[in-house]
Structure 1
Amino acid sequence: MHNDLDPLFHAINQIILGKPRQIRLAVCCLLARGHLLIEDIPGVGKTTLSHTLAKLLGLNYQRIQFTSDILPADIIGSSVFNGQTHSFSFHPGAIFNQMILADEINRATPKAQSALLEAMEEHQVTVEGKTYPLPQPFFVIATQNPVHQIGTFPLPESQLDRFLMRIELGYPDQRAEKALLSGQSRHDLIETLSVQLAPDRLQYLQKTVTQVHASDALLNYCLAIINYTRTSPDYPCGLSPRAGLALLTAAKAWAFMNQRDTVIPEDIQAVLASVAGHRLRAGHSNSEAIVQPILSNVAVL
């Protein structure tokens, strides 16, 4: 583990019990400058994880509760007429923070969901023809309830593709849940947390991740995976070029977390389910099951 990240992981694991791999994937997504989708049932710690990350990273944090009546202006802001100056002025919406929790995003209508698109991709929003940059670093964590639950609107493919990774937290094991039941309130514990990785240091690490080397052989392995998804009958739609870039970027972040300056095939394999699962679907809800044919059939070059 990279030395700068040790205190961060230690602190998160004191709050989110028994989920070390999911925590590593969430931090990997952050280092890769991506956005994270957490899909799971209510009450397993999705909101707690986002709040914990924001606190430990010293980021301005805003939770946006998505509902069926939320409007795009509630998210990105709007121009308001000032009677004294007889002019319109822009009032920023909740998106103008460094870390956004888009809570239960699939309870909002597609129109409201789409308000996040430009912000997530370009780190800016445009209102009435004028562009406003968002604060940096900028990171969206969206939580999503399973689509079979009442009152949900499935995220369109264009929105899903904006998320670098998708993870599930799942139920804790018995040991972790017993510690949770017998321990202090998670909310109270979060309030005691101090910054473990300052925003400027985080941005430096994000820049360092981009310098991790990927060999020609590694790129060929990545291309073989992408091509398999496009030609295999297991998948109705293969990975796009954007998805290929996402896979490589996430693998670089995973290599960096493990104190390596070169990506190896195991890095690709470690992040593949989280990067590709929500893009491929293929009739499964479990990301590991979705990518298993890839891992079984694509040889390491």
Structure 2
Amino acid sequence: MDDAEEPRTFAAVRRKLVDAEVAQWAPDVEPSKRRYSEYHRAIDAITEAGVDYAEEVGASLEWRDDRSIYGILEQGMSVLSDLRFAVRAGEYDKKDEEPLRLWSHRSQPLYDLKIKKTPSLARQDIEAVVGSYLRLPYRAQPIDRMLVDLLIALELYGYGNEILNPDYIKGLTPTPPLKQSAVLGWLTEIGGSLAVWVVIALLLWGLSAAHLFPTDWLLGANALLAVIFFVYAVWVSVQLPGAMLALRKRKQAILGLLTQMNSVYVELNSDGPISARHIEERAKRAADAGVVWPGPLFALLDDINRRDGRF
């Protein structure tokens, strides 16, 4: 690199790197429009924190130096570049209509789930990104907020899709709990036992016609089958109210977890500062109820609490 072309201040280096990083993903977008994108705002925030750290440790302006401002800023930008891919799971073979999209708070996640329009998120990749972020020597409050929001949304959308929009083949794979009906199960049991009775009765009739079963026993055998069917039908019917209640409780428990997640996520919908301690407590209560949050969530909240406790 020609020394005459090298920026001579940290701010100039930062601006050069930010513009280059954002431009590579959206070369056809006007620079003025890039600056209002989610990706640009995030890169701007992380590099601003990087410059503060560089000034604190006395970093060098020489790009070949081990303590170069270039290396310091590129660490943070690399984290967000990885995140950009992680929030596009399964979209690599599609034309990216929003190349500078990153992540922002979703206002109606339950409605998104209802209409089956949910973000494509790679859980393992996102968790790895958070780990990389926590290994940086500096932090940025807007990135803290974005990652906390994303980690909670990750479980909310993942669990919501699993229970509300399950992939199953009716009649061939097990019916998901929320799609089950105790009455339908009762009818299936009754219908199945009736079908067995009819098949056995026809078999006995056929054997009798072929002189392989005593005709005198045919009426008694059918009567015995009728008694067995009746007893079984009564037994299944007696169990029906209990089965209905148990299924109802199971559905309430499943939906209750989704409600718990959503209630935590809704609290992130604020333009003002949010207490990391409060979100941590709310998330822990949900975890006690059975919610399985992404592992890095509490590590990130703990890290924020060790700083100013807000994001």
**TM-score (norm: length of structure 1):** 0.23
Higher Cα radius of gyration: 2
- Write 1 or 2 for the structure with the bigger share of helix: 2
- Tell me: higher relative CO, structure 1 or 2? Use CA pairs within 8 A at least 6 residues apart: 1
- Write 1 or 2 for the structure with the bigger share of strand: 1
**TM-score (norm: length of structure 2):** 0.23
